[in-house]
Chain A
Amino acid sequence: VLQWPQISKCRSPEMETFSCYWTDGNFYNLTAPRTIQLLYMKSIDEDWKDCPDYITSGENSCYFNSSYTSIWVSYCVQLASKNEVFDKKCFSVEEIVLPDPPVHINWTLLNTSHTGLHADIQVRWDPPPTADVQKGWITLEYELQYKEVNETKWKELKPRVSTMVPLYSLKTGRDYEIRLRSRQRTSEKFGEFSEILYVSFSEPDSDCFQCTEEIGFPWFLAVTFGACGLAVTLILILLSKQPRLKMFIFPPVPVPKIKGIDPDLLKKGKLDEVNSILASHGDYKTKLYNDDLWVEFIELDIEDPDEKNRISDTDRLLSDDHLKSHSCLGAKDDDSGRASCCEPDIPETDFSASDTCDAISDSDQFRKASEKEEDLLCLDRKDDDESLASFANTDTQHRHMNTQSGNIQLWPPFADNIDSPRPLVHAQISNQNSLTNTDFYAQVSDITPAGRVVLSPGQKSKVERAQRGGCTEQNFTMDNTYFCEADVKKCIAVTSHEEDEPHVQEQSYNEDAYFTTESLTTTSINLGASTAETPSAETPVPDYTSIHIVHSPQGLVLNATALPVPDKEFNMSCGYVSTDQLNKIMP
């Protein structure tokens, strides 16, 4: 392989002179004796000149002394033979500064440890003599490296300007090697290393006790024993029958709970017990509830826990049998646990699977129970029977916002949750007719005695319903917020809403704002009329509303979508009452 002559490097040790070095290659084996020249050119406007000194720097070198050297000036050098140019390099002298190594390196002992096994030393050196540091012509940085004699890897210290550095905690029993190199402070490249300095300490004091290898603290043993001891202690605590100690070390993680409500009790579902608990909260007058109804579906809850029944319930719940895979309608598989769903003021409650199942089963039962009772319940609202019946098996699935009774499960489904992924519900809803647009929940508007759940219609059908009969005159106050939906339907105003979407009025809410979602919807429509305020065009009426505040014991305050409710006599036939109504009835 033919190797051309090459300029290997150009270097200035002190920024006053410089030299260039080249390699021959094997060129000369093939041609006449050497005629290689190094030509240089200073700045652009001069000619190529021959090297002034081929000797001083050794073979294959060219030395430029201080008279030829100018700093901050461009040089170009080229390696040529006769007319053939082999290599060329351009540079400025300040760019090729690689200082000589420091000299006069020595060390002194600073102090020794008590055991005599470690020592600190101070290493000193002088700058290379070629570099004029004193006049400030060049500023140098130094890097020290050291290692034990039999090690392979050098430890490096940070480059520094000072000419001394301490080395701490060297082992007196070992020998060390130290070397130094320097560079111009603004450069990156270091010069050559100095010669190695050997450090060895004198014999340790023969009086010293543990002159052998110092035993480090037995960390390994300490950690192992400590861990074992701790583990044993913990196991003993766990196994101990002392609950207090156990609680002290491992405090139980509190689950959310409603004061006074025992979730276990709710699970078991004894109505009487539940009622008594609730009664203790003040105004919960649970006795008024149709025990039969409750018993009915609570029983169902207990006795038919298996999925199949639930599924069938939900089938009935929905006119279309689109129940695919999920046992619980809208049950979301999440880890929140049963108890958490009882939190009344969590706005975005994601129903735990079991709760929703319960809810569904309840509503199923409700529906079953009240389907036949439909007429019974709303006897004086005959004109609405048809409408009731018409959406008895509506497509949309509605969630019953039933906040009374033993079901402390307050499910404030709201608009936000529309978007939450509910695969089951979504599947069902998607199969439903186009009347619905947003519903992920179905509102149970009523429950027939047979146990069928009457669902509120979709929004559009609500609209249609809303078209009928207006009751702009009706004075809906906020006090009594339950009313039979038949009532409401009468009161649905036509005027104030847009065609497709009944809108929720931003209403101030009041205490005792219990609603069925549907009644909310319808009332919203109504309200729009009664307040003569056009509902905003943006939001579709949700079939549910969110619970804003739990105004225990009066009830819940629903948020802005909550609607006023007509002040009516308590009507048992609707199957549920507001607490206000209860209050009126109960002394």
Chain B
Amino acid sequence: TKEGVTSLPICPNGSINCQVSLEELFDRAVKLSHYIHALSSEMFNEFDERYAQGRGFIAKAVNGCHTSSLTTPEDKEQAQQIHHEDLLNLVVGVLRSWNDPLIHLASEVQRIKEAPETILWKAVEIEEQNKRLLEGMEKIVGRLHFGEPGNEIYSQWEGLPSLQLADEDSRLFAFYNLLHCLRRDSHKIDNYLKLLKCRLIHENNC
């Protein structure tokens, strides 16, 4: 279901000096990341139901995601130890790395035979919301005055050919993988942002 996340103007009155509080920025970011993860989950489940049954995709134990090359905290201790700047940069880097695959996902998923309308719609929606989240995160990063922007954190996606394979089974498996990775990474982003929000805004007292 669509949450109806709307975009509020950053400066409602158009005044020059207005600034949305960092709290508000984080609130919006967390809302968006939650929404994106919910959509990804649903999309993966629908795809799984519709195309993956009986094909043993799960048993193939998901291939690595293209963002695996980025070293991100993998448990709570690591996440707590990492500096919030680095974590934010990582978040931005992961979001950037997903820009390209999401665009192609939205277009390639339409070529799947009889793709359900919900999957098509979600692919487009996720791509849009991801862009907005990226913008929001860049604002937050700018607000916290980081020394250097995290431009280096980026992982190139090479998976387009696999989405265009002629063999339907291989192609569907490629989609399955991509959607699985998307669900995972969106959960990761969502978690990091909630962590950061509780750490920076609520001082670890959510």
Q: Which residues of B contact A72 (CB under 8 A)?
A: 72, 74, 184-185, 187-188
B80 touches A135 (CB 8 A): yes
Measured between alpha carbons, how far is A74 from B58 in the docked complex, in Å?
11
Q: Is B160's beta carbon under 8 Å from chain A? A: no
Q: Is A76's beta carbon under 8 Å from chain B? A: yes
B residues 157-206 touching A (CB-CB < 8 Å): 184-185, 187-188, 190-191, 194-199, 204-206
A94 touches B187 (CB 8 A): yes
Cβ distance B198 to chain A, nearest Cβ, rounded Å: 3
Q: Which residues of B contact A16 (CB under 8 A)?
A: 75-76
A71 touches B206 (CB 8 A): no
A137 touches B34 (CB 8 A): no
Measured between alpha carbons, how far is A135 from B197 in the docked complex, in Å?
9
Q: Is B77's beta carbon under 8 Å from chain A? A: yes
Q: Is A171's beta carbon under 8 Å from chain B? A: no
Q: Within the complex, which residue of B41, B75, B187, B198 is in contact with A136, where a contact is CB–CB below 8 Å? A: B198
Cβ distance A218 to chain B, nearest Cβ, rounded Å: 43
Measured between alpha carbons, how far is A66 from B59 in the docked complex, in Å?
25
Cβ distance A541 to chain B, nearest Cβ, rounded Å: 52
Q: Is A44's beta carbon under 8 Å from chain B? A: yes
Interface 1/0 per residue, B122-145 and A, CB below 8 Å:
000000000000000000000000
A134 touching B198 in the complex, CB below 8 Å, given contacts A66-B75, A66-B76, A186-B187: yes
Q: Within the complex, which residue of A44, A73, A139 is in contact with B63, where a contact is CB–CB below 8 Å? A: A44
Cβ distance A1 to chain B, nearest Cβ, rounded Å: 25
How many residues of chain B are within 8 Å of chain A by beta carbon? 32
A residues 323-366 touching B (CB-CB < 8 Å): none
Interface 1/0 per residue, A80-109 and B, CB below 8 Å:
000000001010101000000000000000
Instruction: Tell me the nearest residue of chain A to B77, going by C-beta.
Output: A66
Interface 1/0 per residue, B97-120 and A, CB below 8 Å:
000000000000000000000000
How many residues of chain A are within 8 Å of chain B by beta carbon? 25
Q: Is B16's beta carbon under 8 Å from chain A? A: no
Q: Which residues of A contact B72 (CB under 8 A)?
A: 72
Q: Is B52's beta carbon under 8 Å from chain A? A: no
Interface 1/0 per residue, A116-146 and B, CB below 8 Å:
0000000000000000111111010000000
Q: Is A69's beta carbon under 8 Å from chain B? A: yes
Q: Which residues of A contact B77 (CB under 8 A)?
A: 66
Instruction: Tell me the nearest residue of chain B to A186, going by C-beta.
Output: B37
A137 touching B195 in the complex, CB below 8 Å, given contacts A71-B75, A94-B184: yes
Q: Which residues of A contact B184 (CB under 8 A)?
A: 72, 92, 94
Q: Within the complex, which residue of B38, B63, B74, B198 is in contact with A135, where a contact is CB–CB below 8 Å? A: B198
Q: Is B79's beta carbon under 8 Å from chain A? A: yes
Q: Is B4's beta carbon under 8 Å from chain A? A: no
A136 touches B34 (CB 8 A): no
Q: Is B18's beta carbon under 8 Å from chain A? A: no
A135 touches B206 (CB 8 A): yes
Cβ distance B119 to chain A, nearest Cβ, rounded Å: 18
B75 touches A135 (CB 8 A): no
A selection of 14 A-B contacts at a CB cut-off of 8 Å is: A16-B76, A44-B63, A66-B75, A66-B77, A71-B74, A71-B75, A72-B184, A74-B62, A90-B58, A90-B62, A134-B198, A136-B195, A136-B197, A137-B76
